[in-house]
Structure 1
Amino acid sequence: MRILRVFFPLLVTLLSLLSACNTDRKDKTSQPASADAPPAINYGVVATYPHDTNSFTEGLLMHQGMLYESTGSPLEMPNTRSLAGVLNLQTGKIDPKVEIDRNLFGEGITFLNHKLYQLTYREKKGYIYDATTFRKTGEFALTTPEGWGLTTDGIHLIMSDGTDKLIYLDSATLKPVKTIHVHDHTGPVRNVNELEYIHGFIYANLYTTNYILKIDPATGTIAGRIDLTSLAMDARSRNENSLEMNGIAYDSASRNVYVTGKFWPSVYAIKFNH
Structure 2
Amino acid sequence: MKVKFCCLGSGSEGNSIVVKTESSSKTTVLVDCGIKFDDLENRLLSRGIDLSEIDAIFITHEHIDHIRSALKFAKVFNTPIFMTHGSFYSVYKSYEKINSVSIIRADNTVVFNDLKIAPFSIPHDAREPVALIIQDTAHKLGVLTDTGSITPNIVRSMANLDGVVLEFNYDEIMLKKSDYPEKLKKRISSPYGHLSNKAATYLLEKIFHQNIQAIVAAHLSKKNNNPDLVSSKLKLFKNDALKKIIADQSEPTGWISLNKS
Per the shorter chain, which TM-score range? 0.3 to 0.5
TM-score by length of structure 1 reads 0.33
**Where is the helix percentage greater, Structure 1 or Structure 2?**
2
Q: Between Structure 1 and Structure 2, whose CA radius of gyration is higher?
A: 1
